[in-house]
Structure 1
Amino acid sequence: MIVATPLTPREAILCGLLADLFGVPRVSPGDSFVRLGGDSIIAVQLVGAARKAGLRIGVRDVLTQPDVAALAAVSTAATTTGADPGDGDGAGPLPPTPIMHWLRERGGPADHYHQYVVVRTPAGLTHDRALTMIQALLDRHDALRLRRTAPGGALTDHLVIQPAGAVRAGSALTRVSTEGLGPSDTARLVRREVEAARDRLSLGDGTVLQAVWFDAGRDRPGRLAVVINHMVVDGVSWRVLTGDLATAWEAVSAGRPPRLDPVPTSFRRWAGLLAAEASALRRAAELPHWAGTLRPGTLRLADRPLDPGQDLEERAGHHAVTLPADITGPLLTQAPERLNADVNEILLTGLALALAEHRHHHAPGGASGVLVDLEGHGREELFEDADVSRTVGWFTTIFPVRLDLGRFDAHDVRAGGPTVGAALARVKEHLRGIPDKGIGYGLLRHLHPAAGPAPAGPDAAEIGFNYLGRFTGDRDRDWHILPEYGARLDSVTPGMPMAHVVEIGAITLDSPDGTVLRADWTWAAGAIGEAVVHGLAESWFRMLTALVTRARRPDAGGPTPSDVALSSIGQDEIDDLEAALEAF
């Protein structure tokens, strides 16, 4: 790693951390986090890494400061204590979080509801070393010891985090030989063993993690599949776990016991903080916002509502598409900087334009707004002394957003014209008007004593959208995720009802051609036609290309009300000011 000579020690720390996170040889104090391709999930990682290095910064600082020098200037010294943070409060009864209640309402076989990754393992790995590493994960990360201690009742009843040492790696690790197998046979075996590992998961037995080591033979790199019940893992958690595997390997390969970094705030403590926050007056003040978002009248795509008895994950349609590197690169770096928007705002603007095109051609008299359930990472900076950047658990938030489709002008969109700019402005202002990135919706809906608003029947969101962020790394490096085995993390759980008519899972990956955006479209085949979904997928990528075109125009990037300090100023006044400045 090469770091350009910085001006201050804090800049040196941040430049080095960013170079590691983005997998680039050099970062300088004048580089922008956004221009590097950063998103909110990478920002959470940076906050945790900076805390370990002795610097305190916030996710908001990372996303809003113009460059590394400015970020270093607002950083402060991180306070540390002699004790291991989080020790003592991680084990015990677990208050169910909003997302756990969401899963309870969804129904289905929660025991086998899972995510998984497959990583490359080094040639020197042995079964004993793998056991030591898995044990280190189980002992360090409390959520991996979750258990339902009594049968019956609701899914969210009787949840307990067992103490460290209660779950042994011997019951969590399986060795499978792949010696002499070719790539295609190995891939088939991996998928078969992942399904078998899924079937071994059991909340009642406290079995929420199963690992399968695919031993390719002496002195040959292998594979490690890690299958975890989704109740205790999410996208940020996987970044923590794969990093800890690399840390543990560094120790065991040198003959030392692994010592993983402390977890400042336990998942159990976070769950307790959320339970208390649900009754706060500031959450009740959000009720008008959510009631307005869920008001009747939204564009419908499906032929019929979801049927939980028929629309199951194993019966769903699937369509995977990849945006080429020559578009993905500027979409993640140049476009956010030039358009004064973050990656999620840009991706959702593309979706809004795709839906507007669909409405223009297929439902010209339909409603001009559409509800989308948006997933967030959920690790919001709500509590002064909570740091969940290294906490493993299911933090995900799901909350509705209403996209205003506006008018659609195909010729203007292709040129990246005002239609694109207006769509971005509408999406930006709506998303930035959501309190605390939407975490309050789940608190009100599931934890508030008088439950908050909920969409009913025909007005429920038909579309679910989840951007998992950027996974950097080299598939030829040990402990890095191998995307050919499934990069979306989620996998089909037989018997699980679909949550939405159409679900979009997007992730950014490094490929031999550069960074690419991969999107997996899943739909309830009995409720909506394949042609409709394929058309929306193709349209979405065309609209993202139009946003890149917009970013390259000299008139791109005008501010919207949320970009300026005076909250009372409107978009029309901003446009008038811009026109006056241009005339001057």
Structure 2
Amino acid sequence: MEAEQGELSGKIKLLPIQQWFLNSHYRHKAHFNQSVMLALPHNTALDTLERALAQLHQQHDMLRAQFSKTETWQSQYQSVAACPTPKLIHLDTSGLDEQQTALALTKIHARFELGSGALWQPVLLSNDTPLTRLVLIVHHLVIDGVSWRILVEDLSRLLQGDTLSDKTSSYRQWSDVVALHPFEQQIPYWQNVLSTQQNVPYGKSQQRLTHQFDTQLTEQLLRLAPAGFNTEINDLLMSAFTRAWCNTFATNYCHLTLEGHGREHLSDHIDTSRTLGWFTSMFPVALKNDTDLSTLIIQSKETLRAIPDKGLGFSELVRRGEFSFSQLPKVSFNYLGQLDSNNDAQDQGIRMLNAHSGDASSRDNQDEMALIVNAEVRQMKLQVSIASQLDETQTTAFIEQFDAALRAVVSHSITAANPQGIKTLSDIEIGELVNEADAPIEWFFFPPGGGGAESYLQSIAPKISAPCYCFNNIYAAQEKPKDSLAYDYYQFQTLALQYAIHLKKLKPSGPYRIFGWSFGATLALEVAKLLQNEGDTVEHLVFVDPCFDYAAMHDEVFALHPEFSHLEPDRINYHYQNDPAFSSTAKVTLFSAGCAVEVAQSDSLELQLSSHIINRYLDKNQNLIEEAMQPSQVQVFTMKGSHNSWVKTPEDLIKMSEIMNTL
């Protein structure tokens, strides 16, 4: 790890979030802070506290950062001598109520100057109670949510007599790494996200509202609901937000500006785990609504997982002139997490108090946003703060819709968790890139029913002359007991939704070339439908011995072999709904099996049944493709091998690769 130790000085390259703020329209940039109120350990000595504050000031160099503007804004570290530890302010609150205390703290919030002195201020509150309260006020330019955890933890260590560890990589080192990282490859992805954005009219006087959920719902959200779809809390909140927004404004997509913590892994040599600063990234996201709650939650989760580098690249691409922060959606959501302890008893450590510590930002600093929603958990109650410039009726309707949507999402997730939850594609290794090159991915391979990416890695994929991406099989990885939601939910159409999201991350726009074998052929067809319906071009579809109209073949085998009649059909294939009216503009290449799969008496009855069904396609025209789609043109090749053996038949692999390399 590379880390600058000692007292730092000199210039710091601004991160994009700092540039955005400093170049913003905010009238009082010096009054744009964050603050916390802390209950200190009992009997904390004043000199111990002052020494701890001085050590924090020396350890965390960003607390000594200053900002100035000549032609452009600049930042630099100051020495402790040039920027001394701010003097602890003693505020007597014995004659003040909570509102008066907040007003006194607001005046302290307004004292900072960006180019002079420290941009943080400790305030010790005193009254006639034994509780010792400390307010830390820090300008947002030098702190963020993750930084608060670091700062409070370090203060706690120092008050307990411990020493601080060596510094991790500096904010300056991180900024340099971000500035050099090759984010340009993400440009098509972000262009695609922004392309369908539709903003709603706004501009009313800003309303500030708070909506609170009870302890029961909050505990269910935090402790029970995530198991349903293996989600994070934010995934569920975003699902509810999407449904609420789309229901309120009668639209299919919710376009949001999200914030990330911005500390993604870009270099093995950089570690910012104990570094203070404003690292936040801002980026756009488009989430699709769905009437089915499972689909809504899974789509939201997979869309959020598919964001490259968790959104870090967009802000840096703004700095490089590829995008503008003005392109971001005018609706934002931010989940801040659990911000306090539910234990009110005094203990040996520092506790965060749920009390107003003054106006962190000047009321003249107005956001150019239609709707800002911040959610946090305090005292085991989910609190949602809303700043809206929408019409009052729309704001009220949205809050009501969000309340109902979150309750529905939580309830459905808890149900999905029993007896076990649903895995989604991001829960496994999504796939593997073959023939990696600077060129874009040309082929996407979808897995057969009994395997994943490994089915292609040592066979056809290496013989293709262009980059290929081989997907793994989430359906095979998911256990599906009959009493589980996964048993009923997973169909080719619902699987395709997930694969399409990750395919669009890898290649945001067409033309697309898609390959599928057996189960993978049906999955590939459903993905192609989604892409075509969204306006993308699917150039080529390659099917290897597909099992179209599987139910008809299954019933034929049952009629010929009554010994299998007690076996249940392969659910996903048997219940697949063919759509013979689907007209594809893609060129279709079909490779049909050249011989039968051997049926051995030693095989299980289930395997024998499957082999008999597969062999029924040998005398079916073009594997019954016209029962599944209306292709614009089809070329058919008969392989030497069977449905199963072609993948190990050199003659078939050579022929297939030669054809695909000339398409």
- The answer to whether TM tops 0.5 is yes
Corresponding residue number in structure 1 for 2:591: none
Amino acid of the structure 1 residue aligned with 2:351: H
> Displacement of 1:178 after TM fit?
2.8
Cα distance in 1, alignment partners of residues 277 and 60 from structure 2: 9
Amino acid of the structure 1 residue aligned with 2:423: P
1:313-462 aligned within 5 A: 316-359=206-249, 363=250, 367-406=251-290, 408=291, 419-446=292-319, 448=320, 451-454=321-324, 460-462=328-330
Deviations 1:331-357 (A, max 9, x none): 122222221222221110110111122
Could you say which structure has the greater relative contact order, defined with CA pairs below 8 angstroms and 6 or more residues apart?
1
Cα distance in 1, alignment partners of residues 325 and 50 from structure 2: 46
Three-state SS of the structure 2 residue aligned to 1:338 is helix
Matched, 1:491 2:374: no
Over aligned residues, Cα RMSD in angstroms?
Answer: 2.9
Matched, 1:259 2:163: yes
Matched, 1:203 2:117: no
Cα distance in 2, alignment partners of residues 172 and 271 from structure 1: 30
Q: 2:149 aligns with which of 226, 239, 244?
A: 239
Q: 2:179 aligns with which of 252, 257, 275?
A: 275
Amino acid of the structure 2 residue aligned with 1:507: E
Distance 1:440 1:579, change over 3 A: farther
Distance 1:490 1:291, change over 3 A: farther
Corresponding residue number in structure 2 for 1:479: 350
Q: Which runs of 5+ in 1 are unaligned?
A: 1-78, 252-257, 305-310, 409-418
Cα distance in 2, alignment partners of residues 236 and 519 from structure 1: 20
Three-state SS of the structure 2 residue aligned to 1:520 is strand
> Displacement of 1:105 after TM fit?
3.5
Q: Which has the larger radius of gyration?
A: 2
Distance 1:555 1:115, change over 3 A: closer
Whether the 8 Å CA contact 1:355–1:405 is kept in 2: the answer is: no
> Displacement of 1:561 after TM fit?
3.2
What TM-score, normalized to structure 1?
0.70
Distance 1:172 1:452, change over 3 A: farther
Cα distance in 2, alignment partners of residues 346 and 461 from structure 1: 20
Corresponding residue number in structure 2 for 1:4: none
Equivalenced residue count is 442
Three-state SS of the structure 1 residue aligned to 2:14 is coil
Corresponding residue number in structure 1 for 2:138: 228
Amino acid of the structure 2 residue aligned with 1:158: Q
> Displacement of 1:233 after TM fit?
0.6
Distance 1:566 1:138, change over 3 A: closer
Whether the 8 Å CA contact 2:491–2:572 is kept in 1: the answer is: no
Identity %: 24
What TM-score, normalized to structure 2?
0.62
Q: Which runs of 5+ in 2 are unaligned?
A: 432-470, 475-489, 496-518, 520-569, 576-605, 607-663
Corresponding residue number in structure 2 for 1:534: 396
> Displacement of 1:164 after TM fit?
4.1
Cα distance in 1, alignment partners of residues 359 and 411 from structure 2: 32
1:47-66 aligned within 5 A: none
Q: 2:76 aligns with which of 124, 142, 160?
A: 160
Cα distance in 2, alignment partners of residues 437 and 554 from structure 1: 27
Deviations 1:421-448 (A, max 9, x none): 11112212221221010000011111x2
Deviations 1:386-405 (A, max 9, x none): 22121111111110001222
Cα distance in 2, alignment partners of residues 140 and 396 from structure 1: 21
> Displacement of 1:212 after TM fit?
1.1
Cα distance in 1, alignment partners of residues 359 and 147 from structure 2: 13
Whether the 8 Å CA contact 1:470–1:507 is kept in 2: the answer is: yes
Amino acid of the structure 2 residue aligned with 1:465: F
Matched, 1:135 2:54: yes
Cα distance in 2, alignment partners of residues 485 and 437 from structure 1: 32
Distance 1:237 1:579, change over 3 A: farther
Amino acid of the structure 1 residue aligned with 2:353: L
Q: 1:559 aligns with which of 411, 423, 430?
A: 423
Distance 1:134 1:475, change over 3 A: farther
Three-state SS of the structure 1 residue aligned to 2:76 is strand
Deviations 1:472-530 (A, max 9, x none): 423444521111226xx983323213042110111122x2xxx2211111123xxx123
> Displacement of 1:575 after TM fit?
5.0
Distance 1:433 1:554, change over 3 A: closer
